[in-house]
Amino acid sequence: MLSNIAGNTSITVALALLTFILMMANSTKDFWLHIFWFPGVPVFLKPLMFVVEFMGLLTKPIALAIRLFANISAGHFMVLALICLIFILGKGDLEGEVNVAGGLAIAPMSVLFSLFIFAVELIVAAVQAFVFSLLTAVFISQAMETHSHDDHGHEPAHH
């Protein structure tokens, strides 16, 4: 069966997993310090902050995968629905009689709208590739960011 590559969940999950691996491979000690032991946060809040940060760490690539898959698949579902209108309106009544006029009447409009959706899908695919790449770069750069801390683990005030 022919399909687009980003409409396949295994591909989007693999891309998100690659993003996660690149984030982890390029992370700094400051990144892990802010995940495991927040400087300047009271000790009793640190376990809660760890859970929140760890969940955030996992949800970033998951959100990338879902966003890519959902946006690419949405156009396909629209085209499928528009083409199915031809068969739905051509079916006729509940006894199964065929209504050729109904199918033929909606066919030109359905095909034109489907072609329009195909064109929109090309734009959506380009935008989604850009957004996925941009967010991947942002997530990796956040993992690579370094901070300066004073002796007590607090970040210095910026003036």
Q: How many CA atoms lie within 13 A of 76 on its CB side?
A: 13
Return the beta strands (E) in the chain as ranges.
none
Across 55-74, average pLDDT = 89
Report yes or no on 58 lying in a domain.
yes
Determine the Cα–Cα distance for residues 65 and 14; give it in Å rounded to an integer. Answer: 8
Tokens of 108: 């030109």
Report yes or no on 158 lying in a domain.
no
Report yes or no on 154 lying in a domain.
no
Report yes or no on 40 lying in a domain.
yes
Number of domains comprising the chain: 1
Phi and psi (nearest 5°) for 86?
-60, -45
Answer yes or no: are the C-beta atoms of 122 and 6 closer than 8 Å: no
Report yes or no on 155 lying in a domain.
no
Tokens of 157: 């005030």
pTM, two decimals, is 0.71
pLDDT exceeding 70 applies to what percent of the chain? 85
- Where does the pLDDT of residue 104 fall: very low under 50, low under 70, confident under 90, or very high at 90 and above? confident
Structural domain boundaries enclosing 47: 9-144
pLDDT digits (tens, 9 = 90+) for 14-57: 989 999 999 888 888 888 887 777 778 888 888 888 888 889 88
Report yes or no on 133 lying in a domain.
yes
